[in-house]
């Protein structure tokens, strides 16, 4: 109930996010060959990114997951890591920006979440999404692959529950759609089949790396 009320307050506070489609002008954006893999927590992204990496494709692992894992290794708790949720989300946003700035826009890369995902997370937490919206205009991604949810399972790094995952599913879709992206929905399949599904849709644009 608290989650629904928080999301409702966000919609009321920032209605334009849900009513407008944002356009930054192509001359301001860097066109890239980056493919984004996104979706709600516990949708199977991590396993697919690892399989793409195993097959020799350049990947960027999820920033938030890596950051939380690093902090847990140092003895912090999830509650402590996210005690200041605004600072946490801002750190994740700017770390993603830093990583994406280091990539060549002409190199094929698969990203586990990208800058626009922060829009959905900001909205979930009731934060003003203006910053991630504006930063989402830095690059134009080649494809957005959105994963259908699987049965939710907790792990050491994942702090969300099934209700939050369901809310994020909708918020993340809206985040990319309002930026003018056509989302490619990836159905529930085995990891290898999901990877093949993705590569089949990029094969006419990219050549597989040499083993």
- Give the tens place of pLDDT for each residue, 171-205: 999 999 999 999 999 999 999 999 999 999 997 66
Give the chain's domains with CATH numbers.
27-202 (3.40.50.300)
The residue to which tokens 């099934």 are assigned: 162
CA torsion through residues 145, 45, 165, 168, sign: negative
Q: Angle 104-105-106 (CA atoms, 0-180°, nearest 5)?
A: 90
How confident is the model over 5-56, as pLDDT tens digits? 454 455 546 555 555 555 555 546 899 999 999 999 889 999 999 999 999 9
- Kindly report the pTM of this predicted structure: 0.84
């Amino acid at each position: 109930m608290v989650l629904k009320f928080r999301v409702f307050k966000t919609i009321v506070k920032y209605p334009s996010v849900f009513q407008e489609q944002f356009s930054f002008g192509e001359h301001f954006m860097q066109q890239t060959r980056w493919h984004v893999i996104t979706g709600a927590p516990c949708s199977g992204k991590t396993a697919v990114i690892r399989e793409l990496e195993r097959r020799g494709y350049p990947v960027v692992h999820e920033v938030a997951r890596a950051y939380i894992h690093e902090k847990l290794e140092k003895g912090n708790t999830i509650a402590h890591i996210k005690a200041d949720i605004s600072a946490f989300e801002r750190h994740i946003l700017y770390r993603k920006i830093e990583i994406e700035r280091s990539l060549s826009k002409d190199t094929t890369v698969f990203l586990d979440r990208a800058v626009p995902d922060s829009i959905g997370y900001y909205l979930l937490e009731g934060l003003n999404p203006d910053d991630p919206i504006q930063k989402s205009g830095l690059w134009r991604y080649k494809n957005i692959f959105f994963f259908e949810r699987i049965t939710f399972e907790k792990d050491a790094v994942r702090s969300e529950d099934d209700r939050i995952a369901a809310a994020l599913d909708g918020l993340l879709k809206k985040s990319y759609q309002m930026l003018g992206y056509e989302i490619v929905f990836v159905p529930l399949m085995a990891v290898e089949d999901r990877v093949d599904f993705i590569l089949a849709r990029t094969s006419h644009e990219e050549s597989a790396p040499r083993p």
